[in-house]
Structure 1
Amino acid sequence: MLIERLKFKVAPNLRENFIQKDAQIWTIALAEYPRFLAKQVWISLNDHTEIIFIICWATLEQWKAIPQADLQTIKDKFIPALRESYPVVKSAKYQVRKFPHF
């Protein structure tokens, strides 16, 4: 499994709207692609402007197989819904390794 980690900075009073619009636009759109597994939203208890999305894919190849034009179409819906752009502050990729049970 591959984990995509995206960190955003959003004003605390706009945070819930950002999360709701993301769920309505990004999450629903990504769920249509094969091997999208799950998405979590992490809200920092220390920094009220920090939001982290954890997106789980079966493989890197399947995640990267999403056409750039499709991603741009989703982004073109998301930004107007928020009336402002919130760029990714930090992104990272992780591979989950399972170890045998002992």
Structure 2
Amino acid sequence: MLGGFSEARVLAWADPQVGEGVAVVEHLRLRVPQHSREDWMVAERGSWEPWLDKQPGFLGRELFWDPATEEGTLLIRWSSREAWKSISMADVEQVQERFETLAREQTGQVQGNPFPLVFEGELLPQ
């Protein structure tokens, strides 16, 4: 059992310093069907990954995939809640649109988001 997932698989490891200096962890879950796992990763690498790397306070992220629920989980570490929440919604929406465009190109889906958000929240280290 890894992070509450049975047979969860780590798909990417952005920063080996897990937990180092983290003030808050953004926690997201997306619907990612088995047959589209690599499509999801291509869309992430072409949108969120390069954008996050440039954000002040971004410390790293991990992406997991759970075959039982066919969900991707993203744990994004921030140096402070203020750094995370200071990012404008317009910037987030622009990157999300890039992500969805790449995801549609990869999956062949004509419209909408091939990997819809199932859950969003935050985790605080103890």
Task: Report TM bin, short chain.
Answer: 0.7 to 0.9
Are the aligned partners of 2:29 and 2:74 in contact in 1 as well (CA < 8 Å)?
yes
Shift of 1:43: 1.4
Indicate yes or no: 2:115 matched with 1:94: no
- Cα RMSD (Å): 1.3
Please list the CA deviations of residues 30-56 of structure 1 after superposition, one character each: whole Å capped at 9, or x if unmatched: 111111000101111433x11100100
State the AA in 1 paired with 2:34.
Answer: P
Relative to the length of structure 2, the TM-score reads 0.71
Map 1:66-77; keep pairs closer than 5 Å.
66-77=87-98
Residue 58 of structure 1 corresponds to 79
Report runs of 4+ in structure 1 exceeding 4 Å deviation. Answer: none
Alignment coverage as a number of residue pairs: 96
Q: Could you say which structure has the greater relative contact order, defined with CA pairs below 8 angstroms and 6 or more residues apart?
A: 1
- Is residue 41 from structure 1 mapped to residue 88 from structure 2 by the alignment? no
Letter in 2 for 1:5: H
Contact 2:28/2:74, CA 8 A, preserved across alignment: yes
Q: Is the 8 A contact 2:27 2:122 kept in 1?
A: yes
From 43, 47, 58, the counterpart of 1:25: 47
Cα deviations across residues 19-40 of structure 1 (Å, max 9, x unaligned)? 2211221021011111100010
Q: Structure 2: how far apart are the matches of 1:23 and 1:56?
A: 17
Structure with bigger helix share is 1
CA distance in 2, matches of 1:76, 1:8: 15
> Which one-letter code corresponds to 2:96 in the other structure?
K
CA distance in 2, matches of 1:45, 1:11: 8
Alignment partners' CA distance in 2, 1:71 and 1:77: 10
Q: Percent identity?
A: 24
